[in-house]
Amino acid sequence: MIEAKGLTKHYGSKLAVNQLSFSVRPGVVTGFLGPNGAGKSTTMRMIVGLDAPDAGDVTVNGRHYHDLPWPLHEVGALLEAKAIHPGRSARAHLQMLAESNHIGLKRVDEVLEVVGLSAVARQRAGKFSLGMSQRLGIAATLLGNPEVMLFDEPVNGLDPDGIRWVRNLLRGLAREGRTIFVSSHLMSEMALTADEVVIIGRGCLIAQIPIDQLLAQSSQRYVRVRSPELAALKTALELAGATTVLEEDGSLSVRGPDEIAIGELAASIPVVLHELAPQSASLEEAFMELTEDSIEYHGGSGTAPVQSPEGAK
Ligand code: ADP
């Protein structure tokens, strides 16, 4: 369990994180979403004591990170994949971490195997691609078999197979009852990985919400309707206050009433229906709606909050 209460952090005059409160439960994957510069990395650094909050507090399993006697046994964190001594081999890097936390060397080989780096374990980490560095960072996160794990943009630099692998790994770790907190700017990926999301913008909490609920409440949600008497139904729906769009494929997209209300209205006319299919919004659309007012850096396109202008960080 991670609990943040009123977390606040300035860098000079820049307010990076503003009175942020949220909790990350065990047993689920919690996604950490926000436009670029929203304060996700700063928040994660505060969780593991790499940055000190100016105000507020964050605890892991009820304790501050710096009070944990053997931190790697309780919290694993992948924050900067490239933050590895370049001259050290992958195995030596993990070995050093293991020794400093009383972890046996057998575990080093185990985690190298889990992340698929056994064959290159003796190569210098400085020569690793971003994807390989991410795998090494994940190995370090798993090393102490901790109950709480943080991952800052773990799929950056991974190919589609690697991305699927990370998704399955995180979901599996959550199923084991661990607390998994993962940031990403890839909305579609988060929709497949996370059960719940903490959404921030300009350092402030916008929402903490289960993904299903986020999608259900979006105004982008609509119902696709097909009928041999579409004109009559369209008129009745608009009179009842719905917004309708006649699509090129001959279906009617209806926003406002849900499928139950549309079905009942059709029966009351009566009009025969050939299709009545609720369509959920994409997470990207739902996210854009929530963060519209809190985009710090606009990219060239309308999808600025989703694709960070810097791409991979
Ligand atoms: P995110 O991870 O959501 O992209 P960050 O936590 O990296 O956001 O950054 C939040 C804000 O704080 C940004 O405006 C960023 O420029 C600023 N910031 C982050 N780290 C530093 C730092 N070390 N010094 C000054 N400003 C920083």
Lowest mean pLDDT among 14-18, 82-86, 106-110: 82-86
Q: What is the mean pLDDT of the chain?
A: 88
Output the residue whose Cα is nearest ligand 1's atom 16. 37
List of long-range contacts for 260-264, beta carbons under 8 Å, 24+ apart: 262/223, 262/225, 262/237
**Is 90 exceeded by the pLDDT of residue 310?**
no
Output the residue whose Cα is nearest ligand 1's atom 22. 11
**CA 178 to CA 118: how far, in whole Å?**
25
Pocket test for ligand 1, best of 11, 40, 79 (most atoms within 8 A of CB): 11
Confidence of residue 74 (pLDDT cuts 50, 70, 90): very high
Beta bridge partners of residue 5, listed in sequence order: 57
Average pLDDT (198-217) is 88
Report how far ligand 1's centroid is from the alpha carbon of 33 (Å).
14
Output the residue whose Cα is nearest ligand 1's atom 5. 39
> What are the residues whose beta carbons fall under 8 Å from the beta carbon of 49, sequence distance 6 or more?
64, 65, 66
Report how far ligand 1's centroid is from the alpha carbon of 309 (Å).
14
pLDDT at 307: 37
Report how far ligand 1's centroid is from the alpha carbon of 245 (Å).
42
Structure tokens at 241: 């206050």
Give 159 or 83, the one with higher predicted confidence: 159
Average pLDDT (180-188) is 86
**What string of DSSP letters covers the chain?**
-EEEEEEEEEETTEEEEEEEEEEE-TTSEEEEE--TTSSHHHHHHHHTTSS--SEEEEEETTB-GGG-SSHHHHEEEE--TT-S-TTSBHHHHHHHHHHHTT--HHHHHHHHHHTT-GGGTTSBGGG--HHHHHHHHHHHHHTT--SEEEEESTTTT--HHHHHHHHHHHHHHHHTT-EEEEE-S-HHHHHHH-SEEEEEETTEEEEEEEHHHHHHH-TT-EEEEE-TTHHHHHHHHHHTT-EEEE-TTS-EEEESS-HHHHHHHHHHTT---SEEEEEPPPHHHHHHHHHGGG-SS--SSTTTTTS-TT---
pLDDT at 302: 37
Atom number, ligand 1, closest to the C-alpha of residue 34: 3
Atom number, ligand 1, closest to the C-alpha of residue 183: 2
pLDDT tens across 32-66, in order? 998 888 999 999 999 999 999 999 999 999 999 99
Output the residue whose Cα is nearest ligand 1's atom 23. 11
**CA 151 to CA 139: how far, in whole Å?**
12
Sign of the torsion angle spanned by Cα atoms 218, 178, 20, 186: negative
Report how far ligand 1's centroid is from the alpha carbon of 86 (Å).
25
Output the residue whose Cα is nearest ligand 1's atom 21. 11
Structure tokens at 56: 């507020």
**Is 90 exceeded by the pLDDT of residue 228?**
yes
Q: CA torsion angle for 119, 173, 32, 258 (degrees, to 10)? A: 130
Report how far ligand 1's centroid is from the alpha carbon of 203 (Å).
9
Structure tokens at 19: 């009175």
307 CB neighbour count, 10 Å cutoff: 15
pLDDT at 253: 94
**CA 279 to CA 149: how far, in whole Å?**
34
| Residues within 6 Å of ligand 1 by CB | 11, 14, 16, 34, 36-42
Report how far ligand 1's centroid is from the alpha carbon of 10 (Å).
9
Pocket test for ligand 1, best of 10, 14, 182 (most atoms within 8 A of CB): 14
Report how far ligand 1's centroid is from the alpha carbon of 13 (Å).
12
pTM above 0.85, yes or no: no
> What are the residues whose beta carbons fall under 8 Å from the beta carbon of 6, sequence distance 6 or more?
19, 20, 21, 55, 56, 57
Output the residue whose Cα is nearest ligand 1's atom 4. 37
Beta bridge partners of residue 57, listed in sequence order: 5
Lowest mean pLDDT among 204-213, 217-226, 238-247: 217-226
Report how far ligand 1's centroid is from the alpha carbon of 44 (Å).
11
Atom number, ligand 1, closest to the C-alpha of residue 45: 6
pLDDT tens across 264-284, in order? 999 999 999 999 999 877 777
Report how far ligand 1's centroid is from the alpha carbon of 299 (Å).
17
**Cβ–Cβ < 8 Å for 219, 285:** no
pLDDT at 279: 87
Among 166-170, 209-213, 220-224, the range of highest mean pLDDT: 166-170
Burial 224-236, CB ≥16 within 10 A → b, else e: bbbbeebeebbeb
